[in-house]
């Protein structure tokens, strides 16, 4: 799912490409993508885009008379800048906003169509605001208050849009790794030093990845949005060496979410139990990274 750095760059480039431009027409290819009927989607045809901004992970196109087009890309939705009146792919093309100088095409890969488009007016825009904090605009005291409002695991807390703004699965892994904190540590069970490290890591990671994406894109349009980047420290790096200590990165899975972490840097050598594997292995589930390495070494010796 596009997160804060991706959405930020999308918005920066959209404001360059289409701010002040008139939408000539809207093409909607998927009947499930458009979630509102009043006002009708054709209402924006012939209107200029005042600006583009974000609410959390949602991209908001602002039109005159308090008219807002709200796009949530969800997991597999993406934006593309194409030549004017570019054709929509029958399987992946959801919609297009057509301008005289090009078309903004919205696609979604896979069979689970979750991306959503809403056209709303006036006060109705407030229903998309979840209340999450933008940590780049908050001081340490404000961050501490928000972090400890509820007592959940850090992974859940950081990815809760009611608490924090624009962060999902991938960047939360990177933030926690830099802060050297366990993803299952409870938010109300942190020392002042833990909270300070988390605050600094949160801000540093958002700035780092936003700057990297900005440099990659340059004067073009952001086309490559992925949750798995080769220069990430832990996310998507299961069984690869941690860049800090060379211990193999581990993971836990729940539903469609995967959490990646370093057991030496973040959990004091303890392996977090993955529910599916724990049920399968029962008492054979290793409790520490040392046990895991011993078993891996034994298997390698047998194989040889």
Which whole number is the average pLDDT over 88-112?
94
Q: 42 φ, ψ to 5°?
A: -70, -10
Q: Model confidence over 136-187: pLDDT tens digits?
A: 999 999 999 999 999 999 999 999 999 999 999 999 999 999 999 999 999 9
As a whole number of angstroms, the distance between CA 278 and CA 291 comes to 15
Q: Where is pLDDT greater, at 291 or 246?
A: 246
Q: Where are the domains of the chain?
A: 4-128, 135-217
Name every residue whose Cβ is closer than 8 Å to that of residue 141 and which is 6 or more positions away in sequence: none
Task: Assess whether pLDDT exceeds 90 at residue 299.
Answer: no
Express each pLDDT in 265-274 by its tens digit. Answer: 999 999 997 6
pLDDT for position 149: 96
Do β-strands 58-63 and 67-72 pair in parallel, antiparallel, or remain unpaired?
antiparallel
Q: Please give the average per-residue pLDDT across 241-253, as a whole number.
A: 94
Query: At the fourth CATH level, which superfamily is domain 4-128?
Result: MutM-like, N-terminal (3.20.190.10)
Q: Give DSSP secondary structure letters for 44-99.
A: GTT-B--EEEEETTEEEEEETTTEEEEEE-TTTEEEEEESTTPPPPTTTEEEEEEE
Within its chain, how far is the Cα of 275 from the centroid? 24
Let me know: does 285 contact 197? Beta carbons within 8 Å.
no
Radius of gyration, CA atoms only, the chain: 22
CA distance 221 to 62: 20
Encoded tokens for 281: 């292995």
Buried b (16+ CB within 10 A) or exposed e, 68-78: bbbbbbbbbbb
Tell me how far apart the alpha carbons of residues 95 and 28 are, in angstroms, rounded to a whole number: 4
Q: What is the pTM of this model?
A: 0.89
- High-pLDDT (> 70) share of the chain, %: 89
Q: What is the pLDDT of residues 5-63, one digit of tens each?
A: 999 999 999 999 999 999 999 999 988 899 999 999 999 999 999 999 999 999 999 99
Residue reference for tokens 């194989």: 303
Tokens 């298997």, located at residue: 299
Give the integer Cα–Cα distance in Å for 271 and 237: 16
The count of other CB atoms within 10 Å of the CB of residue 191 is 8
Average pLDDT of span 119-133 = 96
Give the three-class secondary structure for 123.
helix
**HEC states along 113-181?**
CCCEEEEEEHHHHHHHCCCCECHHHCCHHHHHHHHCCCCCEHHHHHCCCCCECCCCHHHHHHHHHHHCC
Taking CA 168 as the corner, what is the angle to CA 68 and CA 247, rounded to the nearest 5 degrees? 160
SS3 at position 248: strand
pLDDT tens-digit profile of 254-294?
766 789 999 999 999 999 976 554 444 445 555 676 665 66
Token reading at 245: 């200590």
Residues 144, 146, 150, 154, CA torsion sign: negative
CATH T-level fold of 135-217: Helicase, Ruva Protein; domain 3 (1.10.8)
Mean predicted lDDT score pLDDT of the chain: 91
């Amino acid at each position: 799912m596009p997160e804060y750095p991706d959405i930020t760059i999308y918005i920066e480039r959209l404001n360059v490409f289409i701010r002040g431009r008139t939408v000539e027409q809207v093409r909607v290819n998927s009947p499930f993508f458009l979630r509102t009927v009043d006002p009708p989607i054709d209402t924006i045809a012939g209107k200029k885009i005042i600006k583009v901004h974000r609410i959390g992970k949602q991209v908001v196109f602002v039109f005159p008379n308090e008219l807002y087009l709200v796009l949530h890309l969800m997991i597999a939705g993406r934006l593309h800048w194409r030549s004017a009146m570019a054709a929509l792919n029958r399987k992946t093309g959801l919609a297009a906003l057509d301008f005289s100088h090009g078309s903004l095409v919205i696609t979604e890969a896979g069979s689970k169509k979750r991306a959503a488009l809403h056209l709303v007016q006036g006060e109705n825009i407030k229903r998309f605001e979840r209340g999450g904090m933008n940590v780049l605009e908050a001081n340490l005291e404000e961050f501490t208050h928000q972090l400890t409002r509820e007592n959940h695991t850090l992974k859940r807390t950081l990815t809760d849009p009611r608490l924090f703004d624009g962060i999902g699965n991938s960047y939360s892994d990177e933030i926690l790794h830099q802060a050297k904190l366990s993803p299952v540590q409870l938010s109300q069970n942190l020392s002042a030093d833990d909270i300070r490290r988390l605050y600094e890591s949160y801000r540093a990671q958002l700035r780092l990845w936003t700057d990297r994406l900005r440099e990659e894109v340059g004067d073009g349009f952001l086309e490559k949005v992925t949750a798995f980047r080769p220069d990430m420290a832990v996310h998507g790096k299961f069984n690869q060496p941690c860049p800090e200590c060379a211990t193999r990165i581990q993971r836990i899975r729940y539903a469609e979410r995967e959490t990646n972490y370093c057991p030496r840097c973040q959990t004091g050598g303890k392996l977090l139990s993955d529910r599916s594997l724990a049920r399968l292995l029962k008492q054979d589930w290793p409790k520490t990274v040392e046990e895991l390495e011993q078993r891996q070494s034994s298997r390698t010796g047998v194989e040889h």
